């Protein structure tokens, strides 16, 4: 145990204010360049998304054709092609998917259509072998995906709806599959493609040694890495750290990532600090698991050093440190929470109903209101749930649902995390709709 | 203090584990040695090929039984996966070779076995903790072992010197060994086909009882569909014999039935859970909605003593979904103790204790358990806490009596003991 604590200190020992400043300025610069196309080198261009949500396209122009890294959402592929065509008429030789998420692979149809229309040969599509499994899974889980996307991204025009014709259709499967790595030579440049486990199991990053350009997709996303998303499957915290370190070893001058293009030394620090942060969480969760703690305690016990708290590249706005803890935890253990009552539990509504024998729903409602006044929103939410889930009292139901909606709204404003906030707000909207249906 | 029989395992008792250790001959040159995990031994002109090594304690007896029958040297050891009840005895077999002055045998396994061993080293304390929770102590000898004092992986564990990715075939003497990678209970399983003897050595790709997908204490990521595929492929070979990872040797018809029915069951579970997930249900609702079909309810090969339907649903849901339970209050929640204290402020502590006691006497221990948790979590008043802990331990004992699942039973009984102990110390 002492050894592990030493390791913890070793990961974060001396803080360097110079580097703090560097990464803060880099973030400012990268985010100011959002939405703007950038010619970084004569043959290396960043093509921006129109909606600033999906990652940019990395365009490499060679005499023998273009290499394209990522294609945006299905709805914006055509827009990206149009912009690319203001820079070059060269055919699309190769398209690489950074991973199979729809905001990176979905726009490829427009690139294929452009090639067909111009009489160019069909571009080759390179992806990791797990992209095929992912596309199959998306079609298998079509209804689920529509539901959870509506929960976590309710306001986005690109959110697939249940009736979205694109959902489950129009998957352009890759024709060239990579398991570990692939290199090819095109128009005087080397293209080295490497597989990584990171946000997904199908990430590919691209390295062009002659230009010192790395294209890494969502391996850097501009917030705390999104492992442990509450709505998504297992992700790969420790492998993510390894991928970041491998990329950093190449010492890239330009790093094409989710929020834009990072540069040089500052970019290097962002890669390594993110890796350090992920390793730190991994080691802390493992240490606490080995000390026989369960998830509730582990969430409580892990505290972060100032360097992390001040790093804008690690803020919990999209990914969240608590979610990362969940991810690491579920990577190493099962779903048991340490309380045997929860192994074969009764429905929570039955338990809550039982407690309502001793406390009137009116009292709970009043108490939740009181807690809200005291600004204990999260606790008030837990309390109001007893009435929402437990009661059958029709007279109170409307007021209860409205209060819960208000509490969710308030809690949503309190939490820094975009995904949690959206789930809370969407749930509030649903509750208000339900309340409307109740007349009294 | 109540005495609790925490040594219950999936076989029910140590006597039954011993009874399960039955050796069998598949052919004059192909033997099965029964252990907690089975060991297969192929006798060739070029030496012995050993498939799996059982757990370390059983390996000693198995090596002795093997050596009573053959003096041939060990050519190769194949580990079907990295679980310690299959790979744990490898050091004993290697020691046998070394003691005899033979050259060290090859150790062959899937490439993810070393990854698993590394993980076991990293999470050693946790693995011991989990084994203590689910097996309630040592699984043999009837003694409770103090787990903290030793590493989870025995220091004589051998990493494979040859690994493979998808498949591998080689001959030793006159026998061919086809190694097939499959995923199921683990990501690193190998099943071996020996065509000359029409025999499959399945590792944990095939065993009696419900497939252990979704074990509450183990990695969440297990592979229901891939497991079904592996069993279908094994059945497709029409083997005369299957040596399973655990339990007695299976002959043709029986092996085929288990393979195809377990595969059908896993595919059915997959479709049920995915269907409900696509309709927007959360785990709690899905657990309530999936019901075991009549045709499988009383089948031994789907008995719920180790794996159980509830766990399988958890496992499939966890593979395709996240950890969110559908209640936004639980995304970034308050501590359980804080919520319980708040509820008790309004309900009164005494009421809740009395109600839990009442529920216990009405034979409703699960609801009683949920209620008494509020008091245990939510009050610091010593007298109340003491009363609640004693009651909780009684409720847990009662709840354990209703359980057919060995792992769950152990977990409840261990906690009953802990609650009783804590009450005593107050």
A283, HSE (Cβ side, Cα atoms, 13 Å): 20
Taking each helix axis from N to C end, the angle separating A348-355 and B365-378, rounded to the nearest 10 degrees, works out to: 70
- Mean pLDDT value across residues B376-397: 94
Nearest Cβ partner of A341 from B322, B332, B373?
B373
**pLDDT-derived band at B2, boundaries 50, 70, 90:** very low
CA distance to partner chain A, nearest, from residue B366 (Å)? 7
End-of-domain residue from the set B252, B270, B293 = B252
A1-5, A323-327, A337-341, B353-357: least confident range: A1-5
Question: Does B213 reside within a domain?
Answer: yes
Of all residues in chain B, the one with the smallest CA distance to A232 is B322
pLDDT digits (tens, 9 = 90+) for B119-170: 999 999 999 888 888 776 433 333 444 455 678 999 999 999 999 999 999 9
End-of-domain residue from the set B252, B270, B297 = B252
Of all residues in chain B, the one with the smallest CA distance to A345 is B366
Nearest Cβ partner of A234 from B220, B310, B373?
B220
**pLDDT-derived band at B4, boundaries 50, 70, 90:** low
Instruction: Yes or no: say if A290 and B126 are a contact pair by the CB < 8 Å rule.
Output: yes
Regarding whether A207 and A306 lie in a shared domain, the answer is yes
Domain CATH number, residue B72: 3.60.15.10
Question: Does B313 reside within a domain?
Answer: no
Q: Is the pLDDT of residue A158 over 70?
A: no
Nearest Cβ partner of A334 from B218, B321, B373?
B218
pLDDT at A191: 98
Contact A330 B369 (CB under 8 A): no
pLDDT at B1: 41
pLDDT digits (tens, 9 = 90+) for B221-265: 889 999 999 999 999 999 999 999 998 999 999 999 999 999 999
Helix (H, G, I), strand (E, B) or coil at A185: strand
Residues 6+ apart with CB under 8 A from A32: none
Regarding whether B374 and B228 lie in a shared domain, the answer is no
Question: Does B147 reside within a domain?
Answer: yes
Regarding whether A212 and A116 lie in a shared domain, the answer is yes
Regarding whether A382 and A247 lie in a shared domain, the answer is no
- How much is the mean pLDDT over chain B? 90
Test mutation, B127, B328, B345, B419, chain A, max A CBs within 10 A:
B328
Place of tokens 């009181």: A370
Helix (H, G, I), strand (E, B) or coil at B33: strand
Q: Which H or E run includes A21?
A: helix A17-32
Structure tokens belonging to residue A413 = 């404003």
Q: Is the pLDDT of residue A79 over 70?
A: yes
Q: Is the pLDDT of residue A275 over 70?
A: yes
What residues of chain B lie within 8 A of the CB of A141, using their CB? 274, 277-278, 320
pLDDT at A143: 86
- Mean pLDDT value across residues B165-189: 97
Selected residues 349-378 of chain B with any CB under 8 Å from a CB in chain A:
351-352, 355, 366-367, 369-371, 373-374
Q: Is the pLDDT of residue A160 over 50?
A: no
Nearest Cβ partner of A333 from B217, B352, B415?
B217
A111, HSE (Cβ side, Cα atoms, 13 Å): 32
The residue among B7 and B60 whose pLDDT is bigger is B60
Could you list the residue range(s) of the whole structural domain that residue A403 is in? 346-437
Question: Does A7 reside within a domain?
Answer: yes
Regarding whether B244 and B350 lie in a shared domain, the answer is no
pLDDT at B262: 96
pLDDT at A440: 58
Domain CATH number, residue A354: 1.25.40.880
Instruction: Yes or no: say if B74 and B93 are a contact pair by the CB < 8 Å rule.
Output: yes
pLDDT at A155: 64
Any A CB within 8 A of B1 CB: no
β-pairing, A57-62 with A44-47? Answer: antiparallel
* Helix residue spans in A291-393 (DSSP H): 295-301, 306-309, 321-332, 348-355, 361-373, 377-390
Any B CB within 8 A of A63 CB: no
Contact B333 A382 (CB under 8 A): yes
- Mean pLDDT value across residues A335-364: 91
Any A CB within 8 A of B347 CB: yes
What residues of chain B lie within 8 A of the CB of A290, using their CB? 123-126, 129
Contact A231 B367 (CB under 8 A): no
CA distance to partner chain A, nearest, from residue B97 (Å)? 35
What is the spatial distance between Cα B325 and Cα B318, in angstroms, rounded to a whole number? 11
**pLDDT-derived band at A159, boundaries 50, 70, 90:** very low
Regarding whether A429 and A323 lie in a shared domain, the answer is no
Question: Does A340 reside within a domain?
Answer: no
Could you list the residue range(s) of the whole structural domain that residue B390 is in? 334-425
A350-354, A390-394, B289-293: least confident range: A390-394
Question: Does B260 reside within a domain?
Answer: no
Question: Does A368 reside within a domain?
Answer: yes
Q: Is the pLDDT of residue A326 over 50?
A: yes
In this predicted complex, what is the ipTM?
Answer: 0.90
Any A CB within 8 A of B336 CB: yes
Q: Is the pLDDT of residue A95 over 70?
A: yes
What is the spatial distance between Cα B130 and Cα B215, in angstroms, rounded to a whole number? 11
pLDDT at A1: 47
Identify which of B402, B336, B337, B390 has the alpha carbon closest to the alpha carbon of residue B365.
Answer: B402
Nearest Cβ partner of A415 from B130, B329, B332?
B332
Regarding whether B338 and B242 lie in a shared domain, the answer is no
Any A CB within 8 A of B333 CB: yes
Q: Is the pLDDT of residue B11 over 60?
A: no
Question: Does A338 reside within a domain?
Answer: no
| Domain count along chain B | 2
What is the spatial distance between Cα A85 and Cα A45, in angstroms, rounded to a whole number? 12
Structure tokens belonging to residue A204 = 């590919």
- Mean pLDDT value across residues A45-65: 91
Nearest Cβ partner of A355 from B119, B347, B369?
B347
End-of-domain residue from the set B252, B285, B304 = B252
Regarding whether A296 and A408 lie in a shared domain, the answer is no
At residue B280, what are phi and psi to the nearest 5 degrees?
A: 90, 20
Contact B347 A358 (CB under 8 A): yes
CA distance to partner chain B, nearest, from residue A119 (Å)? 40
Any B CB within 8 A of A433 CB: no
Structure tokens belonging to residue A168 = 């489950």
What residues of chain A lie within 8 A of the CB of B345, using their CB? 367
Give CA separation, B421 vs A390, B92, B392, B418, B424, in Å: 34, 39, 12, 5, 5
Regarding whether A392 and A360 lie in a shared domain, the answer is yes
- Mean pLDDT value across residues B202-208: 91
pLDDT at B92: 97
Regarding whether B243 and B338 lie in a shared domain, the answer is no
Regarding whether A351 and A215 lie in a shared domain, the answer is no
Contact B335 A300 (CB under 8 A): yes
Question: Does B272 reside within a domain?
Answer: no
Q: Is the pLDDT of residue B14 over 70?
A: no
pLDDT at A392: 64
Helix (H, G, I), strand (E, B) or coil at B273: helix
What residues of chain B lie within 8 A of the CB of A414, using their CB? none
Regarding whether A326 and A356 lie in a shared domain, the answer is no
Structure tokens belonging to residue B231 = 């069993």
| Domain count along chain A | 2
CA distance to partner chain B, nearest, from residue A101 (Å)? 15
Q: Is the pLDDT of residue A30 over 80?
A: yes
pLDDT at B407: 82
Question: Does A325 reside within a domain?
Answer: yes
Test mutation, A231, A292, A358, chain B, max B CBs within 10 A:
A358
pLDDT at B10: 37
- How much is the mean pLDDT over chain A? 91
What share of chain A in percent tops pLDDT 90?
77
Regarding whether A328 and A350 lie in a shared domain, the answer is no
Question: Does B232 reside within a domain?
Answer: yes
Contact B277 A143 (CB under 8 A): yes
Question: Does A93 reside within a domain?
Answer: yes
Question: Does A339 reside within a domain?
Answer: no
Q: Is the pLDDT of residue A18 over 80?
A: yes
Question: Does A62 reside within a domain?
Answer: yes
Regarding whether A253 and A224 lie in a shared domain, the answer is yes
What is the spatial distance between Cα A116 and Cα A262, in angstroms, rounded to a whole number? 34
Question: Does B5 reside within a domain?
Answer: no
The residue among B14 and B343 whose pLDDT is bigger is B343
Nearest Cβ partner of A424 from B328, B334, B348?
B328
Regarding whether A365 and A249 lie in a shared domain, the answer is no
Q: Is the pLDDT of residue A166 over 60?
A: no
Regarding whether B244 and B352 lie in a shared domain, the answer is no
In our burial notation (b when 16+ CB lie closer than 10 A, e otherwise), range A263-292 reads beebbbbbbbbbbbbbbbbbbbbbbbbbeb
DSSP class per residue in A414-440:
H---HHHHHHHHHHHHHHHHHHHH---
What is the spatial distance between Cα A140 and Cα A168, in angstroms, rounded to a whole number? 8
Question: Does B388 reside within a domain?
Answer: yes
Of all residues in chain A, the one with the smallest CA distance to B284 is A347
Give CA separation, A337 vs A183, A293, B216, B395, in Å: 46, 9, 9, 19
Flag whether the pTM goes above 0.80. yes
Regarding whether A258 and A126 lie in a shared domain, the answer is yes
Any B CB within 8 A of A385 CB: yes
What is the spatial distance between Cα B184 and Cα B158, in angstroms, rounded to a whole number? 23
Q: Is the pLDDT of residue B7 over 50?
A: no
Domain CATH number, residue B385: 1.25.40.880
The residue among A131 and A163 whose pLDDT is bigger is A131
- Mean pLDDT value across residues A254-262: 97
Domain CATH number, residue A87: 3.60.15.30
A124-138, A210-224, B133-147: least confident range: B133-147
């Amino acid at each position: 145990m002492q050894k592990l604590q030493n390791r913890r200190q070793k990961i974060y020992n001396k803080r360097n204010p110079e580097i703090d400043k560097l990464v803060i300025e880099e973030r400012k610069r990268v985010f100011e360049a959002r939405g703007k196309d950038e010619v970084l080198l004569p043959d290396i261009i960043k093509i921006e998304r129109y909606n600033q949500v999906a990652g940019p396209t990395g365009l490499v122009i060679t005499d023998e054709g273009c290499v394209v890294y990522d294609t945006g959402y299905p709805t914006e592929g055509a827009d990206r092609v149009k912009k690319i065509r203001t820079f070059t008429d060269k055919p699309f030789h190769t398209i690489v998917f950074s991973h199979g998420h729809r905001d990176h692979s979905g726009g490829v149809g427009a690139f294929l259509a452009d090639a067909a229309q111009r009489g160019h040969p069909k571009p080759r599509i390179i992806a990791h072998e797990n992209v095929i499994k992912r596309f199959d899974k998306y079609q298998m889980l079509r209804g689920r995906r529509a539901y959870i996307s509506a929960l976590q991204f309710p306001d986005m025009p690109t959110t697939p709806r249940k009736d979205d014709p694109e959902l489950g259709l129009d998957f352009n499967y890759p024709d060239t599959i990579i398991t570990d790595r692939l290199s090819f030579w095109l128009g005087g440049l080397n293209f080295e493609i490497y597989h990584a486990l990171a946000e997904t199991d199908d990430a590919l990053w691209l390295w062009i040694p002659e230009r010192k350009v790395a294209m890494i997709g969502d391996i850097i996303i501009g917030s705390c890495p999104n492992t442990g998303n509450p709505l998504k499957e297992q992700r790969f915290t420790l492998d993510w750290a390894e991928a970041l370190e491998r990329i950093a070893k190449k010492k890239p001058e330009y790093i094409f990532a989710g929020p834009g293009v990072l540069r040089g030394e500052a970019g290097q620090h962002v890669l390594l600090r993110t890796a350090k942060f992920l390793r730190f969480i991994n080691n802390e969760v493992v240490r606490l698991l080995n000390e026989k703690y369960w998830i509730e305690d582990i969430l409580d016990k892990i505290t972060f050093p100032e360097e992390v708290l001040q790093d804008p590249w690690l803020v919990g706005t999209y990914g969240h440190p608590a979610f990362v803890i969940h991810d690491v935890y579920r990577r190493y253990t099962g779903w048991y929470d340490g309380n045997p009552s929860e192994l074969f539990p009764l429905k929570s509504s039955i338990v809550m109903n039982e407690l309502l024998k001793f406390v009137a729903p009116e009292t709970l409602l009043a108490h939740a209101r009181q807690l809200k006044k005291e600004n204990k929103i999260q606790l008030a939410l837990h309390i109001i749930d007893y009435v929402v889930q437990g009661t059958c009292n029709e007279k109170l139901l409307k007021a209860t649902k409205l209060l819960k909606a208000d509490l969710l709204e308030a809690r949503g404003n309190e939490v820094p995390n975009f995904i949690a906030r959206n789930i809370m707000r969407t749930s509030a909207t649903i509750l208000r709709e339900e309340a409307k249906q109740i007349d009294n | 203090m109540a005495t609790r029989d925490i040594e219950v395992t999936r076989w029910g008792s140590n006597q039954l584990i011993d009874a399960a250790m039955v050796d069998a001959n598949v052919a004059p040159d192909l033997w099965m040695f029964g252990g907690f995990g089975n060991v297969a031994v192929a006798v060739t002109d070029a030496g012995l090929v050993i498939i799996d090594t059982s757990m370390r304690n059983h390996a000693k007896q198995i090596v002795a039984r093997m050596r009573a029958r053959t003096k041939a040297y060990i050519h190769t050891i194949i580990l079907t996966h990295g679980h310690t009840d299959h790979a744990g005895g490898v050091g004993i077999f290697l020691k046998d070779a070394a003691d005899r002055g033979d050259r060290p045998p090859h150790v062959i396994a899937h490439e993810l076995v070393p990854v698993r061993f590394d993980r076991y080293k990293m999470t050693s304390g946790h693995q011991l903790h989990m084994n203590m929770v689910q097996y309630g102590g040592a699984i043999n000898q009837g003694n409770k072992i103090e787990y903290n004092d030793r590493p989870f992986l025995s220091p004589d564990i051998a990493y494979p010197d040859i690994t493979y990715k998808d498949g591998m075939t080689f001959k030793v003497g006159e026998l061919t060994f086809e190694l097939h990678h499959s995923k199921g209970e683990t990501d690193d399983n190998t099943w071996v086909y020996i065509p000359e003897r029409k025999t499959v050595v399945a590792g944990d790709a095939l065993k009696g009882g419900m497939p252990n997908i979704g074990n509450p204490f183990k990695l969440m990521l297990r592979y229901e569909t891939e497991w079904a595929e592996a069993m279908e492929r094994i059945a497709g070979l029409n083997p005369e014999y299957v040596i399973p990872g655990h339990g007695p040797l299976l002959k043709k018809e029986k092996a085929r039935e288990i393979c195809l029915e377990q595969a059908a069951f896993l595919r059915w579970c997959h479709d049920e859970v995915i269907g409900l997930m696509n309709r927007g249900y959360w785990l709690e609702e899905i657990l309530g909605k999936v019901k075991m079909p009549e045709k499988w309810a009383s089948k031994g090969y789907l008995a719920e003593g180790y794996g159980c339907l509830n766990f399988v649903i958890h496992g499939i849901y966890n593979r395709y979904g996240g950890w969110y339970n559908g209640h936004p209050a639980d995304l970034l929640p308050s501590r359980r103790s804080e919520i319980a204290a708040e509820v008790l402020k309004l309900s009164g502590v005494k009421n809740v204790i009395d109600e839990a006691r009442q529920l216990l006497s009405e034979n409703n221990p699960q609801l009683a358990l949920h209620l008494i948790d509020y008091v245990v979590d939510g009050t610091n008043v010593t007298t109340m806490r003491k009363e609640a802990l004693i009651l909780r331990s009684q409720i847990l004992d009662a709840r354990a009596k209703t359980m057919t699942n060995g792992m769950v039973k152990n977990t409840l009984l261990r906690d009953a003991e802990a609650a009783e102990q804590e009450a005593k110390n107050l």
